[in-house]
A and B are shown apart, each in its own frame.
Chain A
Amino acid sequence: MLRFALGRLAATVVLLLAVSFVVFALLHLAPGDPARNLLGPRPSSPEALTSIRAQYHLDDPFIGQYLRWLGGVVHGDLGQSIRSDEPVTTLLADRVTLTLQLASFAFAITVLAAVPLGIAAASRAGSVIDRGVSVAAIVGVGAPTYAVGLLLLYVFGVNLDVFPVYGAGEGGLDRWWHLVLPAVTLAGGLGALVFKLTRTAVLGELDQDYVAFARSRGLSTRQVRALVLRNAMVPVVTSLGLVFGFLFGGTILVEVTFALQGIGSLLAGSVTFKDIPVVQAITLLTAAVIALTALAVDLFSFAADPRVRKRTTA
């Protein structure tokens, strides 16, 4: 176990280092002089450019700059936003709560709706319900979040006037009320994905010999189902990394669609404004969360599933 964990940990660190290198290179990838880009809309007098070059050590060799930047990141210093002149960490701290609330709300809806539906569809494979929900899932996975969001906004926000149209509300219950439409929009695509994963996993397990054996031994349907579900949940949990990736991509679009001031809309705004330090920070943060999720999932399945343990140690 320890050897496996250390190996996976090392791989994650290497992956994150590679990502951080690419993220740092973004500054130099953007067209134009990095110093001018970092200066943003401020007047670019020769003195200002010189001081920016000194502040960001732009005259040092590339690797030196990267190591210095990485050192800062490790110590929690993500640099200064060009647009607002505030430390990036402050900007992120202001907005992270809303994004986490939105993401967890959507995630909760997804798990509560898609997992039971997936199990139900797989147990009645080929039925009208199964086919109906499967078609809906094919459409849902590929549906454009922003278009669905705007149409929901029109129907429930403008036409029926049930839900608030824009913004994040006053906090407390009002906040959650404002998040209903965005979370449902986000959960639509995510739920379709989780439904597909669950259905495939349960179907795969139902096909196994041990199910036929358990049935022929006279185990009740409920007992068989308990066996199947336990095994089927492993691939579902394993794809959590994929699900989180989907969730992050979707959050950007949903936050922009519903004018929510979260991390996603901050990223979209910063890209348009070429606020490179903020873009670097958010990209790196997202990659870190996804990589750590993948690591946690791997360790979990190693601990929970004896088959995985056997495969990796053999």
Chain B
Amino acid sequence: MQLLDVTLLSLQTALVATVGMAIPAFFIASYLVRNTGRVAFILDLMVSMPLALPPVAVGFVLLWFFGATGPLGPLSEGLAFSWVAMSIASAVVSFPLVVRAFVAGLGEVDPRLVFAARNLGAGRLRATWDVILPLAKRGIAAGLLLGFVRSFAEFGATIVFAGNIPGSTQGLPSAIFSRISAGDFSEAWSLAAVSIVIGGIALAVHNRLVAQQRNRMVARSGSNG
């Protein structure tokens, strides 16, 4: 059944992209939240670039980057036009959103609490695990969900870098595009409906997490006086 196949492929793509983004986004966000120097400025700019570019251009850059003559060409033979390429394209486009959400979540953790853990004998990783993650968990979950939602909806960079090969690199967005191009509107509508339901649920959970994080913040700053 084609509807199920493209949906599963899109879910898989988005899930792999999200999981792949989590750790690098966490480290970059941790750096950005602590530092304000020139390095942080340039890093932030680089990470945020995909927000400013048309996704089609991002796909084009990726095609060159992983292509035979690109910097990663020798290592990435056959990568373009595969489902892995779909995940990479989704991840690159979603990455700035995840980093931004993580920065917001991590920014709410008082650095003195982290230092308190270090002072009591915790190493950097241990303090991250014991203090930062529990206190920023809603912000982190919200960032991951946002990344998932954006990846799930990704079209422009994906179609350039991974193509639109039915049964191989055709996810929900590109399947909708193909149906519309072919004039098959009823099929396009059912695919769009699936997008709306899955995207809507993920977004609702995300919004709830953000609201909870904000409420906790307000409650804490109130009780500390």
> Is B one of A's binding partners?
no
